[in-house]
A = this chain, B = another copy of it.
Amino acid sequence: MTLVGHFINGEIIVDGNNTQDVFNPANGQVSKQVALADKAMVEKAIAAAQAAFPAWRNTPPMKRAHIMFRFRELLEKNADKIVAMITEEHGKVISDARGELQRGIEVVENACGAPELLKGEHNKNAGPAIDTWSEFQPLGVVAGITPFNFPAMVPLWMYPMSLICGNTFVLKPSERDPSAPLFIAQLLHEAGLPKGVFNVVNGGKEAVDTLLTDSRIEAVSFVGSTPIAEYVYQTASHHGKRCQALGGAKNHAIVMPDADLDDAADALMGAAYGSAGERCMAISVVVAVGDDAADALVEKLGSRIKDLKVGPGTDNSSDMGPLITQQHQQRVAGYIDAGVSEGADLVCDGRNLRVANCEAGYFVGATLFDRVTAEMSIYRDEIFGPVLCVVRADSLQDAIALIDAHEYGNGTCIFTRDGESARYFSDNIKVGMVGVNVPLPVPVACHTFGGWKRSLFGDLGVYGPDAIRFNTRRKTITQRWPSSGLRAGANFAFPSTK
């Protein structure tokens, strides 16, 4: 059986001391094993990154960008292979995995603009004959810790931007679906990245804690659940590191009475059930303004759910695949039980779904609750499964108040035709990423991803303009030249002995 290893200093290292099973969630079978790094192994990766730093720091941004251009080509050329790895280990359908990869590639494309992105600001004559300019200098070794739900995209949100800034990097991806990030690391190396500049270690808490506490790590980017994000942020900050830790979400969509309800229902199907809801930007709550809108919308969603095909991700006719693990499948089913007992209307029930030939897969069907209230656990908690809750509100203001009272503030959206409603909502809502008739408002690569409230610990988001600041220290230089030098010398011959 294949043992997935680490990628350190330009080489795959397989260490079988401590391993863990990797499952195919569509059939529940163990497909591979993954090595879990101990402290020493992580330190080896850090040491490699540290050794590679001085030369990489001095490599001009344009040369760094040239590697990104080649990396992009290799990602496109190997897209099918990467996508297959994702589907096999994560379970999501092929088209969804391809979409994930594409969003990751777009960050690489943005990173290709390194010379543009790293421009400092220059003030001629900041004072009399004094010039001042700022430089974006790299930090050193940066670490990234990423979740299972986007094994390709979320790592790509982090390291391309960090690398073009001149940092070296240690990535600890999720041990649930380790193949894609490891393979992509090899492509980056093939693209010309020097040894040690980018390293991957698989591992669990020991690996994470090593990254959070080792003094050679200058900064940590994390994406995961909120409790872990908070732990990561507090630990890394306490150890003097920069940290950005992105946590959980409960993303609401508001449907206004003037919305095109068919358009909204179509959009919500993908936003709620795509990737089986295992997305930090998934819509898990719909706030319908007015009972007319709510009634119509629930009906439209219900009929669409009937046509939703759940099956293995490798089947091109599947719309939705399994969840990541059996435990998670049971947890999601437990939430559905709780919703029922808490009094919500269960319109569509995804429990006890049987997928032919995949009976041992971790499937839960698309689930729809109506008349959910703010006190219910299915409303309060991030379920991370294909469970959509409809809450009814009397006005846009009520809907906004509901959203702002939730602990998370990652993404949200509104469906309306009305300019004023859209502007009022996007202005006032306490959420970092806002869609207007766009259900999954993940910012494009030249903007920055980041939520508000307990969805993000730290003051800078991932990728885009914030990433340049997170991954660099500014250095400001103030320069004046003494006027009594060479030029003013009456006798220009003075250095003739040289």
Whether, in the assembled complex, A408 has its beta carbon less than 8 Å from a beta carbon of chain B, the answer is: no
Whether, in the assembled complex, A214 has its beta carbon less than 8 Å from a beta carbon of chain B, the answer is: no
* Residue from the list B133, B292, B417, B498 in contact with A419, Cβ < 8 A: B417
Are A466 and B465 touching (Cβ within 8 A)? no
Are B443 and A478 touching (Cβ within 8 A)? yes
Interface of A is mostly: mixed
Q: Which of A181-189, A236-244, A369-377 interfaces with chain B?
A: A236-244
A75 to chain B, nearest CB (A): 11
A387 to chain B, nearest CB (A): 24
* Residue from the list B119, B126, B461, B488 in contact with A62, Cβ < 8 A: B126
Q: Measured between alpha carbons, how far is A426 from B461 in the docked complex, in Å?
A: 29
Given known A106-B62, A237-B233, contact A473–B432 (CB-CB < 8 A): yes
Whether, in the assembled complex, A72 has its beta carbon less than 8 Å from a beta carbon of chain B, the answer is: yes
Measured between beta carbons, the chain B residues less than 8 angstroms from A466 are 469, 474
* Residue from the list B124, B259, B438 in contact with A479, Cβ < 8 A: B438
Are A432 and B474 touching (Cβ within 8 A)? yes
Are B452 and A459 touching (Cβ within 8 A)? no
Q: Measured between alpha carbons, how far is A121 from B135 in the docked complex, in Å?
A: 11
Number of interface residues of A (CB under 8 A): 117
Are A119 and B116 touching (Cβ within 8 A)? no
Q: Measured between alpha carbons, how far is A218 from B411 in the docked complex, in Å?
A: 20
Are A479 and B437 touching (Cβ within 8 A)? yes
Whether, in the assembled complex, A380 has its beta carbon less than 8 Å from a beta carbon of chain B, the answer is: no
Chain copies in the assembly? 4
Q: Which of A463-498 contact B (CB under 8 A)?
A: 465-466, 469-470, 473-488, 492-496, 498
Whether, in the assembled complex, A31 has its beta carbon less than 8 Å from a beta carbon of chain B, the answer is: no
Are A486 and B134 touching (Cβ within 8 A)? no
Q: Which of A393-424 contact B (CB under 8 A)?
A: 394-397, 416-424
Q: Which of A132-184 contact B (CB under 8 A)?
A: 132-136
Are A486 and B60 touching (Cβ within 8 A)? no
Are B485 and A420 touching (Cβ within 8 A)? yes
**Interface 1/0 per residue, A64-95 and B, CB below 8 Å:** 01000100110000000000000000000000
Measured between beta carbons, the chain B residues less than 8 angstroms from A437 are 479-482
Whether, in the assembled complex, A263 has its beta carbon less than 8 Å from a beta carbon of chain B, the answer is: yes
Measured between beta carbons, the chain B residues less than 8 angstroms from A486 are 256-258, 396, 416-418, 420-421
Q: Measured between alpha carbons, how far is A469 from B498 in the docked complex, in Å?
A: 44
Which A residues fall within an 8 A CB radius of B? Answer: 58-62, 65, 69, 72-73, 106, 109-110, 112-113, 115-136, 219, 233-234, 237-238, 240, 242, 256-260, 263, 289-290, 292, 394-397, 416-424, 426-427, 431-438, 441-450, 452, 457-461, 465-466, 469-470, 473-488, 492-496, 498
28 CB contacts below 8 A, A to B, read A60-B127, A62-B106, A62-B126, A69-B69, A119-B122, A121-B446, A123-B444, A124-B136, A126-B444, A129-B423, A219-B459, A237-B237, A256-B486, A260-B485, A263-B482, A292-B496, A395-B487, A417-B420, A417-B481, A419-B419, A421-B487, A423-B481, A431-B475, A432-B473, A432-B476, A437-B481, A450-B473, A452-B473
